[in-house]
Amino acid sequence: MDPTQKKKEAGGFGETLKTVFYAVLIAFGVRTFAYEPFNIPSGSMIPSLLIGDYLFVSKFSYGYSKHTVTFGFPLFEGRVLGSMPERGDVAVFKLPRDNKTDYIKRIVGLPGDTVQVVGGVLHINGQPVKRERIEDYVSTDGVGRETRLAQYVETLPGGRSHRIIEETDHGPLDDTPVYRVPENHFFMMGDNRDNSLDSRVPSMVGYVPLENMVGRAEFLFFSLAEGTRFFEVWRWPFDLRFSRLFDAVK
């Protein structure tokens, strides 16, 4: 083989390696500092988020901590370059119990708030949060059986509204003690109120430190029917939820 040709081939291979390296570096940087994809494995945030939804979380919304950019290694404490989470945000956080497991819930209680659930109705700082009954939430399982649940529009202090569903107003988490949210912590709840392990269960979730916040859920980029796995591309034409693509998370 001609030496010049060998040099060209070696140079071409080197350029390919450089391109791959830079592509991986850029992808890693975007995932670490800008947007990270997450998928929804449970129904705790129905009707806002469904099992099989894939969404982007903005890492920069609340700034950076060891849980967002150093993967849990204690290189620094607290948060930098961020703003405070707001009531009503849907946020991904590291479970305080192990600082590893990703959870996604809605922020309902801010530092200094008192939070209580009475007869299924959320109370913040001693006042009941307005909830308005709307049409039933209807879901269908894999064999076509239909389930109807009571659905409400809940309006938090400050005016942000979202939908919640309730199986009953007399479940184990529908009457709670008064929780006082500590400084730099948040009270998180799922929108599927009777099927959400959240801050109402102190031994499992409890108050979430600001440092554990990973980011704010922004929009869906993909959504597959429950039970369909991402790699099953042959099922996408039938199980892709087209109506949910690029929906903002509210």
Residue 179 in domain: yes
8 & 83 share domain:
no
72 & 182 share domain:
yes
69 & 23 share domain:
no
pLDDT tens, residue by residue, 147-205: 999 999 999 999 999 999 999 999 999 999 999 999 999 999 999 999 999 999 999 99
Residue 52 in domain: yes
Report yes or no: 191 and 170 within 8 Å, Cβ to Cβ. Answer: no
Bridge partners of residue 192, in order along the sequence: 165
- Structural domain range at position 12: 1-33
Amino acid identity for residue 179 in this structure: Y
Least confident of 17-21, 196-200, 211-215, 223-227: 17-21
Can you tell me which residue has the tokens 């500590």? 182
60 & 14 share domain:
no
Tally of structural domains, the chain: 2
pLDDT for res 75: 60
Q: What's the token pair of residue 45?
A: 């945030």
pTM for this model (two decimals): 0.84
Report yes or no: 72 and 66 within 8 Å, Cβ to Cβ. Answer: yes
Residue 59 in domain: yes
Residue 250 in domain: no
5 & 88 share domain:
no
In 3-state terms, what secondary structure has residue 51? coil
pLDDT for res 2: 56
* Strand 185-189, strand 102-109: pairing: antiparallel
Which residues are marked as active site?
44, 105
pLDDT confidence of 27, banded at 50, 70, 90?
very low
Q: What's the token pair of residue 182?
A: 């500590």
90 & 149 share domain:
yes
141 & 238 share domain:
yes
pLDDT for res 114: 98
25 & 146 share domain:
no
Nearest to 171 by CA among 143, 200, 148, 141: 200
Q: Residue 142 pLDDT > 80, yes or no? A: no
99 & 223 share domain:
yes
23 & 40 share domain:
no
Q: What's the token pair of residue 168?
A: 């009953």
45 & 17 share domain:
no
138 & 217 share domain:
yes
What is the rounded CA–CA span in Å between residue 224 and residue 218?
18
